A and B are shown apart, each in its own frame.
Chain A
Amino acid sequence: MYHIHTTTPTTEDFLPYTGKKVDDPEYDGWGGTAKQAMIKYSVGVLATSTLWVGVDLQSIPYRSETTESYVNASSTKERLDQKRDDLQLIARIRELGTYKDGWDGLDGKAPTHKTVKDSERFARLLLRESLHAPHVSLATDGEINFFWNLPGFRFDLGFFGDGTYSYYGENSQGKEFMADDQLTDKPLPEGIIRLLGKS
């Protein structure tokens, strides 16, 4: 076995260039005084044809956060917020997907798997934080329905599992919006999106 030692690199070879040295307290890369990093390479070549490289770290600059055994998100936006409208909507759609025939105590039909998929697909396309969330429910014929009853706009949109959706809506000025056989990957017109908006 052979050991090959290369020229030892310094920390500055690896850290972002800021014009300041790592020992400088104003060094931006680490926000404070950094330790010198000394990294040795050792390269061993086996008598056979295998080459292996190992890197021994004596010490490297570190951030205390990354040495913990778990990581806390530094803000809530970095982890899933279960109160998010889109997540709640998806959960509600999937809940409806568990309903069985006769769910209403009479002849209520369960939604088909395709109806659930179509609804979910559209919901992922539609929802953003700037929009009001719909009331989602199941009609007795198996339709998954999205319904908005807003001060200036009422909107009814639903899925039957044929890969399309249809809708009808009316704003407070009496203007109507109606469509049939819209593919589930087709977003709503901008005019409707504006009426569903929170602002």
Chain B
Amino acid sequence: MKYTQEDELRQTCDFSPGPVKHHEELLRIVFNPEHISDNGVVSNAAISTSDLIENGVSANRRDYAKKEIIQRTIEHQKKNFPDNRKNVGIAILPCLVVRGFVDNDKESSFIVIDEAAEDNIAHASIYSAKNRTKGQLRKLRMQLFPLLQKRYSLQEIFSL
């Protein structure tokens, strides 16, 4: 495991705004048409089980996110899917809700880690709180499923 629950309280680096707090909202870009069915439902495959263990499910902390940085990420992905305009969306994942999910043993499903980078201090990632089997990781991403369905445009996010 890359991180443990204790790492939630750590600040990653000097330019980080600090550990991710419970009240914060995380912005997850949902863009890939691969993961969106014809009726607009985001599939579980939008979150890879490997990311939950190894690389983290990337998100931006809304309190520190810069519109132009998110715009750049969206534009970069648009190059690969130029016809996909209607499915671009940003889901809002409340940190308190994400950290509140538990597994069948009543242990935390997720940890939310500050992963600030010099070119994006808002970067954070969601991980599984412990090592789990593939089936268990599928349950975890099923917990996130409802949060991914309501999506907003970039303009809406920064004007709400």
Asked whether B45 lies within 8 Å of A166 as measured between CB atoms, the reply is: no
User: B77, A145: Cβ atoms under 8 Å?
Assistant: no
Residue A97 interfacial (CB < 8 Å): no
Establish whether residues A139 and B138, one from each chain, have CB atoms under 8 Å apart when the complex forms.
Answer: no
A79 to chain B, nearest CB (A): 26
Residue pair B134, A139 in contact (C-beta under 8 Å): no
Contact A135 B37 (CB under 8 A): yes
Shortest CB-to-CB span from A64 to chain B, Å, is 45
Q: Mask for A134-165, Cβ within 8 A of B = 1, else 0?
A: 01011111010101010000101010100000
- Check: A23 CB closer than 8 A to any chain B CB: no
Complex alpha-carbon distance, A21 and B23, angstroms: 91
A176 in contact with B139 given A104-B80, A105-B79, A138-B45 (CB within 8 Å): yes
Please encode chain B, from 55 to 88, with 1 for each CB lying within 8 Å of some chain A CB and 0 for all others: 0000000000000000000001101110000000
Assuming A105-B77, A180-B135, is B142 touching A156 (CB within 8 A)?
A: yes
B37 surroundings in chain A (CB, below 8 A): 135, 149
Residues of B within 8 A of A105 (CB): 76-77, 79-81
Interface size on A, residues (CB 8 A): 26
A176: which B residues are within 8 A, CB to CB? 104, 139
Residue pair A145, B142 in contact (C-beta under 8 Å): no
- A147 lies within 8 A of B135 (CB): no
CB-contacts of B75-105 with A (<8 A)? 76-77, 79-81, 104
Contact B133 A166 (CB under 8 A): yes
Q: Check: B35 CB closer than 8 A to any chain A CB.
A: yes
Q: Which of B6-14, B46-54, B108-116, B123-131 contacts A (4 or more CB under 8 A)?
A: B46-54
Shortest Cβ distance from B36 into chain A, in angstroms?
A: 9
Chain A's closest residue to B146 (CB) is: A154
Chain A min CB distance to B23 (Å): 29
**Does A183 touch B at the CB level, under 8 Å?**
no
- A91 to chain B minimum Cβ distance, whole angstroms, is 15
Bound complex: CA of A156 vs CA of B140, how far in Å? 11
Which residue of A137, A139, A166, A170 contacts B135 across the interface (Cβ within 8 Å)? Answer: A166
Closest A-B pairs by Cβ, 8 of them: A141-B50, A168-B138, A105-B80, A145-B45, A166-B134, A139-B48, A141-B48, A139-B45
Chain A interface (Cβ < 8 Å from any Cβ of B): 103-106, 135, 137-141, 143, 145, 147, 149, 154, 156, 158, 160, 166-168, 170, 176, 178-180
Q: A104-B32, A139-B46, A168-B139 are in contact. List 18 more A-B contacts (CB 8 A).
A: A104-B34, A104-B80, A105-B77, A105-B79, A105-B81, A135-B41, A139-B48, A141-B48, A143-B45, A143-B49, A147-B45, A154-B142, A166-B134, A166-B135, A167-B138, A180-B133, A180-B134, A180-B135
